Structure 1
Amino acid sequence: MTERDDTPAKEDPEARGLRLVPALLGLTVVSGIIDAVSYLGLGHVFTANMTGNVVVLGFAAAGAPGFSVPHTATSLACFLVGALTGGRVAHRFGTRSRRRWARVTLAVEAVLVGASAVVAFAAPGAAGTTYTLIALTALAMGLRNATVIKLEVPDLTTTVLTRTLTGLAADSRAGGGSGRRSPRRAASVVAMLAGAALGAWLVVHRDLGTPLLISAVAAGLLAAVTSGRE
């Protein structure tokens, strides 16, 4: 008779912590908050949603009132720098541990957004505050976007919803699909909406620093608990 091996199975370190799907949904909420801050409080510019930002740049270039070419160009440039940095981080950590990789980038995002909150509280009316907040949040969002793209978790980009909404409709049972991913897609839309509503309320009724602080704390908590498993 063969002896039974009672040695406990070794736990996969990548599985420790919060799975990537709920973590990315949390980050989608943060994106809604960040874009509410940037669009409503920083002169009609996006720092998370670059699709909207390219359109805004076109508006500004055409001379439409309420839009700024320098603000939008700053956001785009800093986002690209963040994405480039995110690509380098992925190259270094992505082949080793997804858990460590995700936590490192989220920790950096938390620091950058936290720094923007400090600036917003310390110098709300200073001449350079708007550009500083745009630069810091766009840099953080570029870093995160590069990470999310390379993590390759379906339907959770955390910053844009066009493809998600298209998939939600086209792949639904009414559209002839299975609807298998509809719950995840719908959750992503709700998360973005909730973040945007919360961020807008805080900008309108409070200040810019509070929603940025909330975003930094949320990113920091996710950096501490995110796992490497979907």
Structure 2
Amino acid sequence: MGYKVVITGTTGMVGKGVLLECMDHPSIENILIVNRSPLGITHPKVKEVLIEDFFDLSSVLDELKGFDACFFCLGITSIGQSEASYTRTTYDLTINFAEAFIDQNVKSIFCYVSGAGTDSSEKGSSMWARVKGKTENRLLEMPFKRTYLFRPGYIQPLRGIKSKTQWYALLYMIFKPIYLILKHFPSAATNSTNMGLAMINSLDGKYAKSILENKEINELAQQ
């Protein structure tokens, strides 16, 4: 029997990359994707449920039962947001989902996509880093079998994945030749495929580190 996983944020670059790897991987048996808008992927492993509000999960609680892990790839940019607004859409939303998930799946694994530079002290000058740090710290307090905090720096999209944000997509096009050099330095960058493989390879709960930066993501992806 393979693993059963829930993935959020599959309409975004990271989540889409994780989904593609899970669809192809023989260790993954079932995938539930939870989105606000339809992804439009049909695959025998995949079931999609849509919700209007991630703060009201009552309609999908039964759907969330019976899973080994959640790959939480949902996230937004902090640009143009107040700290209160960003906290609601990052900390409050994530913890609300994590609490609902663990209620349905005791001893499951939770993989959270954070970011390089996250502030575990919650006291630094960078607003987004403080909020991400607060989110990470709360997740670590929750009784999951293991919690893995992914802190990628630069992520190169592979397998034809493109960012929905126009200027991000342009940035990735510009950096693609540079990534051909950076990929030889595991600490400098990672890619969407390695993000997915690292999450899949974390499912046995044996990887020792809870915080994974580029180097650890690339390392775990190759195990």
TM-score (norm: length of structure 1): 0.33
If each structure's helix is expressed as a fraction of its own residues, which one has the higher value? 1
TM-score (norm: length of structure 2): 0.33
Higher relative contact order (CA 8 A, sep 6+): 1
Report which of the two structures shows the higher radius of gyration computed on alpha carbons. Answer: 1
